[in-house]
Amino acid sequence: MKPDVRARILDLAATYPTPKAALLTALETVQQAEGGHLSTDSLSEVAALLGVPLGTVYATASYYTMLNLKPVGKYHLQLDTNIPAMLAGAEDLLAHMEQALGIGVGETTSDGLFTLSAVEDLGACGTCPVLQVNDRYYENMTPACFDELLANLKQGVVPEWKTEGNWGTECNMLLARRGKPNSTALAGYVADGGYQALEKALTLSPAEVTQMVKDSGLRGRGGAGFPAGVKWGFLPKDSTKPVYLVCNADEGEPGTFKDRQIMEFDPHLVIEGMAISGYAIGAKLGYIYIRGEFAWIADILERAIAEAREAGKLGNNMLGRGVEFDIRVTRGAGAYVCGEETALIESLEGKRGNPRLRPPYPAVSGLFGCPTIVNNVETLSSVPFIVREGAEAFRQIGTANNAGPKIFGVSGHVKNPGAYEFPLGVPLAKVLEAAGGVVGNLKAVIVGGLSTPILTAEECRDLTLDYDTCAKYGTGLGSGGIMVMNDTVQIPAIALRTIQFYAHESCGQCTPCRQGSVAIEQMLHRVVEGKGTPEDLDNVLHLCKTIKGNTLCPTGDAFSMPIEAMVGKFRGEFEALLPKAGADLAV
């Protein structure tokens, strides 16, 4: 290990309550310095440097998909192949890439230049197909664009490729500054009224700020829709331990790309939201846990935080009011399960992202064993408006029990896939209209990210998008990731790709999830290949019912509910793939 890398790791370790908490970031630092992979020697050096057993270091390194234990090419080409990407033609693009490179998935060219990987959701569902080259995204990729990119890379040129996705806003709150020049800069944010809410909050007591958030009816935007102010109220009143605020920016749910809209184009909005929330809950330090693939967005956040700190809006004396709060950015390393709050906390502590047994809940014993509040990017970004304009103004947006705006990420078979901000309770039809309308004849829609049950075209005809209405329709608003499918789509193929994702992403801690996801994948694979039986379909449904509610985290439900809905609502399509009776006897 080079001396400068060693020094960076030691400096990093000194910022944590315990050096071992720096393990994940240390591994990422070493991998980057060593050309894209972690050697056995480097694992041993990290173990010695942080005082962590080598077995623990290996267990952590082998858990995260972005950490490579084998060498990769100079350019690691990683193509998103999840469902939004499938609907955008990623399978054909992958075949073209294999032909152009002369290698298959998982292989490296003989000259060591290129390694090709098919990866899971990259959080760019509205601009699929998306190809990640090392740390850089190339969105709206086509075969012709890939050929041009490949020619550049062979010449040692990594071209700039800026993609402006489609977007729109009816609320002008979360996406109000999208499209403005230099929207990430502090000066522009302040000119538009930024940090006025923080100034107001610091004239109030923490309890008054918390009550405003409770009164607003703000529900968590990460998926569950739990009231944010109520969650803050779970913090123990008599604890002497430090309190932490964690911003969940992992955004790994297929179909979801809302949080990156805020962080990438208006980072000070979430920073101000965190500063206010940190003050309200008594935290002096907050963490933004961002998915590792969003490397350039992490850089944007780091620069914005440095600007805010320099201007006195973060740090030991916020706005000269004697209040302390600061923010650190920590990058994940590729694990869907780390979107679950206790798995995220484990990862923040440098461990494998395995969900914890609850209770105790994070509000009582979270990060480093201290009281912790975990909120989503979109949730925290709603707080400045509530404080600045008042709880009643926020409640006027949306519907009863479903207050405020929501960013809906629309992907699949629409003319203009993108991110669209509407009040909660907006008709689905209006969101699809904003996205340019459905291409072809609508067959089915997933409205809350891949983990929510699919709806037929008839079921969603009059659907309005809020937590309560979606529940009545037998699905969930979830993260607001809307995936639109027309009548060219075969639902059995969608079901198989769904369970392949969850079988790959299961942390393996719970038997129902670890074994059940693989068993369902095997049965659906047989069905799609034309080798299944009616019993396979019955067994898939039986397993889905058995798994629901019997895992430590929601991942078991996240695949059993959508698979059950796909097989139940479109069983005829699955049965049509089964061998005809007596076909195996034909001569």
Same domain membership, residue 472 and residue 370: no
What pLDDT, in 10s, does the model give residues 53-66?
Answer: 999 999 999 999 99
Same domain membership, residue 329 and residue 252: yes
pLDDT of residue 224: 85
Mean pLDDT of 190-215: 98
Burial class (CB in 10 A: 0-12, 13-18, 19+), 439: middle
Task: Determine the Cα–Cα distance for residues 443 and 488; give it in Å rounded to an integer.
Answer: 8
Same domain membership, residue 198 and residue 131: no
Task: Determine the Cα–Cα distance for residues 423 and 430; give it in Å rounded to an integer.
Answer: 11
**Domain assignment present for 319:** yes
**For a pLDDT cut of 70, what percent of the chain falls above it?**
99
Domain boundary (396, 418, 433) is at 396
pLDDT band at 164 (very low <50, low <70, confident <90, very high): confident
Main-chain dihedrals φ then ψ at residue 489, nearest 5 degrees? -85, 135
Task: Determine the Cα–Cα distance for residues 276 and 202; give it in Å rounded to an integer.
Answer: 8
Domain boundary (43, 63, 83) is at 63
Task: Determine the Cα–Cα distance for residues 192 and 414; give it in Å rounded to an integer.
Answer: 33
Q: Name residue, tokens 């790709």.
A: 497
pLDDT of residue 540: 98
Same domain membership, residue 330 and residue 193: yes
Q: Structurally, how many domains does the chain consist of?
A: 5
Mean pLDDT of 109-129: 97
Domain boundary (154, 182, 212) is at 154
**For residues 249 and 374, is the Cβ–Cβ distance under 8 A?**
no
What pLDDT, in 10s, does the model give residues 464-502?
Answer: 999 999 999 999 999 999 999 999 999 999 999 999 999
What pLDDT, in 10s, does the model give residues 296-329?
Answer: 999 999 999 999 999 999 999 999 999 999 999 9
**Domain assignment present for 401:** no
pLDDT band at 587 (very low <50, low <70, confident <90, very high): very low
**For residues 508 and 343, is the Cβ–Cβ distance under 8 A?**
no
* Chain centroid to CA 182: 25
User: Which residues lie below 8 Å from residue 339, measured CB to CB, with a gap of 6+?
Assistant: 222, 248, 250, 251, 252, 253
Summary mean pLDDT of the chain: 96
DSSP class of residue 307 equals H
**Domain assignment present for 511:** yes
Here the CATH number for the domain that contains residue 468 is 3.10.20.600
Task: Determine the Cα–Cα distance for residues 301 and 263; give it in Å rounded to an integer.
Answer: 7
**Domain assignment present for 223:** yes
pLDDT of residue 580: 83
pLDDT of residue 321: 96
Same domain membership, residue 334 and residue 215: yes
Here the CATH number for the domain that contains residue 150 is 3.40.30.10
pLDDT of residue 581: 55
Q: Is residue 584 over pLDDT 80?
A: no
Here the CATH number for the domain that contains residue 566 is 1.20.1440.230
Mean pLDDT of 157-162: 90
What pLDDT, in 10s, does the model give residues 397-436?
Answer: 999 999 999 999 999 999 999 999 999 999 999 999 999 9
User: Which residues lie below 8 Å from residue 87, measured CB to CB, with a gap of 6+?
Assistant: 128, 411, 412, 413, 483, 484, 485, 489
Task: Determine the Cα–Cα distance for residues 100 and 95; give it in Å rounded to an integer.
Answer: 9
pLDDT of residue 163: 83
Q: Name residue, tokens 């994948």.
A: 521
In 202-340, where does DSSP find H-type helix? Answer: 206-216, 228-232, 259-265, 267-281, 295-310
User: Which residues lie below 8 Å from residue 155, measured CB to CB, with a gap of 6+?
Assistant: none
Task: Report the predicted TM-score, pTM, of the whole model to 2 decimal places.
Answer: 0.96
Task: Determine the Cα–Cα distance for residues 420 and 422; give it in Å rounded to an integer.
Answer: 6
pLDDT band at 583 (very low <50, low <70, confident <90, very high): low
Sign of the CA dihedral with 507 first, then 511, 513, and 515 last: positive
pLDDT of residue 585: 38
Task: Determine the Cα–Cα distance for residues 68 and 103; give it in Å rounded to an integer.
Answer: 19
**Domain assignment present for 29:** yes
Same domain membership, residue 378 and residue 242: yes
**Domain assignment present for 587:** no
What pLDDT, in 10s, does the model give residues 219-278?
Answer: 999 888 999 999 999 999 989 999 999 999 999 999 999 999 999 999 999 999 999 999
User: Which residues lie below 8 Å from residue 461, measured CB to CB, with a gap of 6+?
Assistant: 429
What pLDDT, in 10s, does the model give residues 29-44?
Answer: 999 999 899 999 999 9
Here the CATH number for the domain that contains residue 382 is 3.40.50.11540
Q: Is residue 357 over pLDDT 90?
A: yes
> Domain range holding 455?
406-486
Strands 405-412 and 418-423: antiparallel
**For a pLDDT cut of 90, what percent of the chain falls above it?**
96
Main-chain dihedrals φ then ψ at residue 36, nearest 5 degrees? 110, 0
Same domain membership, residue 348 and residue 456: no
Q: Is residue 87 over pLDDT 90?
A: yes
**Omega before 181 within 30 of 0, i.e. cis:** no
Same domain membership, residue 391 and residue 273: yes
**Domain assignment present for 521:** yes
DSSP 171-198: S-SSSTTTTSTTTTSHHHHHHTTTTHHH
**For residues 271 and 389, is the Cβ–Cβ distance under 8 A?**
no
Same domain membership, residue 512 and residue 459: no
**Domain assignment present for 160:** no
Residues 453, 456, 458: CA angle, nearest 5 degrees: 135
Poorest-confidence range of 116-120, 162-166, 261-265, 409-413?
162-166
Same domain membership, residue 354 and residue 206: yes
In angstroms, the Cα distances linking 13 to 16, 18, 24, 39, 369 are 6, 7, 11, 21, 18
What pLDDT, in 10s, does the model give residues 125-141?
Answer: 999 999 999 999 999 99
Burial class (CB in 10 A: 0-12, 13-18, 19+), 587: exposed
SS (H, E, C) 393-453: HHHCCEECCEECEEEEEEEECECCCEEEEEECCEEHHHHHHHCCCECCCEEEEECCCCCCC
Mean pLDDT of 564-581: 94
Same domain membership, residue 444 and residue 297: no
Same domain membership, residue 427 and residue 329: no
User: Which residues lie below 8 Å from residue 542, measured CB to CB, with a gap of 6+?
Assistant: none
